[in-house]
Amino acid sequence: TPTQAYRQLNKAAEFAGVEHVGNHTLRKTFGYWFYKATKDIAMLQRILHHSHPSVTLRYIGITEEETNNVLKTFSVFQKA
């Protein structure tokens, strides 16, 4: 059940010294690392069944500031 999953997840988190773990923690963590590895927000949106890419980005914690930082370092030219 969701309650039992929450209890077990919290036992593991407590053992590892991790705070603020909930039922969506693993789902969000998967989404975050999937996005970091692939940058495929459209596919992640489909996987998570979200209605819009902005919902997915907010859900996994990708902020506008982080997006702007990536754009600052982006170049179409390869660095030699």
Distances (CA, A) of 14 to 4, 8, 27, 62: 15, 10, 19, 26
Domain for residue 53, yes or no? yes
Whether the pLDDT of residue 1 is over 80: the answer is yes
Domain for residue 66, yes or no? yes
Domain for residue 37, yes or no? yes
Domain for residue 6, yes or no? no
pLDDT tens-digit profile of 11-62? Answer: 999 999 998 888 888 899 999 999 999 999 999 999 999 999 999 999 999 8
SS (H, E, C) 11-80: HHHHHHCCCCCCCCHHHHHHHHHHHHHHCCHHHHHHHHCCCCHHHHHHHHCCCHHHHHHHHHHCCCCCCC
Q: What residue numbers bound the domain in which 53 lies? A: 24-74
**Residue % of the chain over a pLDDT of 90:** 57
Give me the number of domains the chain comprises.
1
Predicted pLDDT of residue 80: 63
Determine the residue type at 1.
Answer: T
Domain for residue 2, yes or no? no
20's CB contacts (< 8 A; 6+ apart) are: none
Domain for residue 7, yes or no? no
pLDDT tens-digit profile of 55-75? Answer: 999 999 988 878 888 888 888
Domain for residue 19, yes or no? no
